[in-house]
Amino acid sequence: MVNLKNNGQMKIQQMAFMLVAVFFFFMLVGLFIIRVQLGNITETAARLEQEQAIESLEVIANMPELNCDSSTALCLDNDKLRILSGETFDYDDFWPVASIKIYRVSTEFENEILCPGIGCNYYEIYDNGQSNKKEVSTFISLCETVTYAGYVYDDCEVGKLVVGVNIQDE
């Protein structure tokens, strides 16, 4: 009788040990799956951040505050840029990005000269001063309405819109 009792206790202990071992095994598998999923989330967040930066180029270029007119895409008005680059208002809540710069590509330059000014070659519309940002760019048309000899026409040149977007610290 004593032998059966010890044998039964041994089987109960083995069963308890197996249950604990199976529990720890599934817990390790669960932690591994969570780690893989978190890696995918970080990768997805970086991809979405880059897509947001690229999409913000078109959004900013087509804003009525900068755009030539509502029918032309990726065309910025030089007169509007002159006005906005000279302003010192706080645009933190208005612009959805960290910085906005527009460069004149058609002029050759060694030094960057801020517009408005003589011989200027770039406009700085907005900069929140953040150092941790990623810049993306696209080519655009820089146009201004000119009157010459009684005719009104758009004088356009090639420009480059550079938008800086905030990068989250990892």
Per residue in 101-147, pLDDT (tens digit) is: 888 886 676 777 887 777 788 888 888 877 778 888 889 888 888 88
Over pLDDT 70: what percentage of the chain?
88
Domain limits of the chain?
1-170
Contacts of 143 (CB under 8 A, 6+ apart): 68, 75, 76, 77, 78, 154, 155, 156, 157
Residue holding tokens 């991809």? 47
Q: What pLDDT score was predicted for residue 107?
A: 65
In whole angstroms, how large is the CA radius of gyration of the chain? 31
Contacts of 163 (CB under 8 A, 6+ apart): 53, 56, 57, 60, 97, 99, 100, 135, 136, 137
Confidence tier at 169 by pLDDT (50, 70, 90): low
Structure tokens belonging to residue 29: 């598998």
Task: Return the SS3 of 7.
Answer: helix
Higher pLDDT, 93 or 32: 32
| CA neighbor of 163 nearest in space, from 131, 132, 109, 127 | 127
Per residue in 59-81, pLDDT (tens digit) is: 888 888 888 876 677 888 888 88
